[in-house]
């Protein structure tokens, strides 16, 4: 460009004192003219520009949030919470895919083997959120665990947050699988209360043993109880009758009570 | 001042050269900051928009289609980042339309000499009409984007643009 802007115009423009028509000229000229850009660069607060550059420099090095985190952020979840949730090992796509495969096998079994197959589905469905919770938080499964322990967020809060997310995700998948079962009726939903009971019971136990061990104990108890009920009642679905549902509800309440009563132990256990 | 052209710098940025980004920043951040500042009175918001713009340049340099000026491309990103940030803030008081100072009588006469009557006509538009002319013509925004920037509905942008056009036409022809 052969014609350049008068320096006085640039000075007045930088101070916001140039009239509109001349500002139009300045703004149309600047993006493409290196000498005038260089001239106006000296009129902008250098400290301000270098602060902005420092922020850019930092942001380039920051990791780009993954799709889960971006989705959560868009849904209005605050950034720290979104980051905590997105890092949950049992919310990774590979984990959820595994859950979906297990549920599909359960649904197929229910289709082929009638009541025995349905029992297999109902037995497995509550174990899935439990397994998710077992690996949701802890020194052996979470690469960010030490950071999380050192963070000013309570361990219990992190654990509950992730538990809720895992339970919602797996329960949604299980509900979809149950809805595809042949001859869908109430029995197909009989896993709902047990999954709540198992998860809360495991959380309650986790106050004294750590999440992974608590989940293992609860899972083993669940499997034994369902098989024993089958033996005693001579019906594969005995454990899912009204008595079984009530027992699961009581387990849920007991687990919740334990968590509330012993919430402080999470802070001290988390270093284990 | 390095002799590399904006295009060379952008190609280097696309290849991951952070010094090239710094060079582009030194060239373009000052005028971008000033120009955005004239459209938004909040300096923090402007600085955030500038920061977002150069992050977008860093991540999206490879996607530049190579047409037009690099400076115009950067402006397009910058003004849209600013609009996004204003939109997230929700409904707000419309800004007082730019800080442009009314020219003195002497300047108004000189303007007639310098550009014919166009500049004077532009300066005599009311601030609301001028802001709309600036957003749609100079900033190359759509009606919707201009509305978001100025905090008014898109329909109002259209009617103000029609009024501005009518007023300028009348003044220039009379």
Examine the pLDDT at B11 and tell me if it is beyond 60.
Answer: yes
pLDDT tens per residue across span B37-56: 988 888 899 999 999 999 99
CB A98 within 8 A of CB A132: no
CA-to-CA distance for B112 and B109, rounded, in angstroms? 5
Asked if B98 reaches chain A (Cβ–Cβ under 8 Å), the answer is yes
Residues 6+ apart with CB under 8 A from B159: none
Q: With CB atoms and an 8 Å threshold, state whether B28 touches A37.
A: yes
pLDDT tens per residue across span A40-64: 888 888 999 999 999 999 888 877 7
Residue B135 DSSP label: I
pTM: 0.58
CA-to-CA distance for B92 and B83, rounded, in angstroms? 13
Examine the pLDDT at B127 and tell me if it is beyond 80.
Answer: yes
Examine the pLDDT at B2 and tell me if it is beyond 80.
Answer: no
Give the distance, in angstroms, between the CA of residue A34 and the centroid of all CA atoms in the same chain.
48
The separation between the first and the last C-alpha atoms of chain B, rounded to the nearest angstrom, is: 49
B51–chain A nearest CA distance, Å: 6
Position A161 scores a pLDDT of: 80
What are all long-range contacts of A27-33, with beta carbons under 8 Å and residues at least 24 apart? A27/B35, A27/B138, A28/B138, A29/A1, A29/A5, A30/A5, A30/B31, A30/B35, A30/B71, A31/B28, A31/B31, A31/B69, A31/B71, A31/B72, A31/B74, A31/B75, A32/A1, A32/B69, A32/B71, A32/B72, A33/A1, A33/A4, A33/A5
CA dihedral B69, B70, B73, B75 (to 10 degrees): -100
- Token pair of B123, please? 């300066």
ipTM of the complex model = 0.77
Position A51 scores a pLDDT of: 93
Position B159 scores a pLDDT of: 93
Position A108 scores a pLDDT of: 79
**A171 vs B141, residue with greater confidence:** B141
What is the pLDDT confidence band of residue B100, given thresholds at 50, 70 and 90? Answer: very low
Closest residue in A to B58 (Cα–Cα):
A60
What is the pLDDT confidence band of residue B99, given thresholds at 50, 70 and 90? Answer: very low
CA-to-CA distance for A23 and A56, rounded, in angstroms? 28
CB B144 within 8 A of CB B119: no
Q: With CB atoms and an 8 Å threshold, state whether A37 touches B72.
A: no
CA-only gyration radius of chain B, Å: 18
Position A153 scores a pLDDT of: 65
Could you say which residues of chain A have pLDDT below 50? 1, 270-272
The percentage of chain B sitting over the pLDDT mark of 70, rounded to a whole number, equals 83
A6–chain B nearest CA distance, Å: 14
CB B49 within 8 A of CB B78: yes
SS3 of chain A: helix, strand, coil, percent, to 5: 75, 0, 25
CB B44 within 8 A of CB A52: no
Considering only CB atoms, A28 lies closest to which of B50, B125, B138, namely B138
**A93 vs B31, residue with greater confidence:** B31
């Amino acid at each position: 460009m052969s014609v350049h802007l008068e320096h006085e115009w640039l000075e007045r423009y930088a101070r916001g004192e140039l009239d509109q028509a001349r500002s139009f000229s300045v703004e149309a000229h600047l993006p493409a003219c290196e000498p005038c850009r260089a001239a106006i660069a000296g009129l902008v607060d250098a400290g301000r520009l270098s602060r902005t550059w420092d922020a850019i420099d930092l942001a380039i090095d920051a990791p780009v949030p993954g799709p889960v985190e971006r989705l959560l952020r868009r849904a209005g979840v605050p950034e720290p919470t979104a980051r905590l949730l997105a890092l949950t090992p049992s919310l990774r796509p590979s984990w959820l895919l595994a859950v979906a495969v297990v549920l599909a096998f359960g649904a197929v079994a229910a289709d082929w083997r009638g009541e025995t197959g349905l029992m297999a589905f109902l037995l497995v469905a509550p174990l899935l959120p439990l397994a998710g919770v077992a690996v949701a938080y802890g020194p052996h499964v979470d690469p960010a665990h030490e950071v999380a322990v050192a963070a000013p967020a309570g361990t219990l809060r992190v654990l509950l947050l992730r538990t809720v997310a895992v339970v919602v995700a797996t329960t949604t998948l299980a509900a979809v699988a149950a809805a595809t079962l042949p001859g869908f009726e109430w029995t197909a939903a009989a896993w709902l209360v047990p999954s709540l009971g198992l998860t809360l019971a495991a959380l309650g136990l986790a106050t004294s043993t750590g999440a992974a061990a608590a989940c293992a104990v609860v899972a083993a108890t669940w499997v034994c109880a369902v098989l024993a009920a089958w033996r005693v009642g001579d019906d594969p679905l005995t454990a899912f009758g009204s008595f079984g549902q009530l027992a699961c509800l009581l387990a849920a309440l007991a687990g919740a009570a334990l968590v509330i009563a012993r919430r402080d132990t999470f802070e001290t256990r988390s270093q284990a | 001042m390095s002799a590399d052209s904006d295009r060379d710098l952008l190609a280097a940025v696309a290849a991951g050269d952070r010094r090239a980004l710094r060079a582009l920043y030194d060239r373009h951040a000052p005028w971008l900051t000033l120009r955005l500042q004239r459209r938004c009175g909040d300096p923090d918001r402007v600085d955030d928009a500038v920061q977002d713009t150069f992050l977008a340049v860093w991540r999206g340099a490879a996607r530049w289609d190579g047409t037009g000026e690099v400076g115009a491309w950067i402006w397009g990103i910058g003004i849209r980042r600013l609009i996004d940030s204003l939109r997230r803030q929700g409904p707000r008081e419309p800004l007082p339309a730019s800080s442009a100072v009314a020219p003195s009588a002497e300047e108004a006469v000189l303007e007639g000499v310098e550009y014919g009557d166009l500049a004077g006509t532009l300066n005599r538009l009311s601030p609301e009409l001028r802001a709309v002319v600036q957003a749609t013509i100079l900033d190359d925004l759509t009606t919707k984007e201009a509305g978001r920037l100025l905090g008014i509905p898109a329909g109002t942008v259209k009617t103000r643009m029609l009024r501005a056009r009518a007023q300028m036409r009348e003044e220039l022809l009379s």
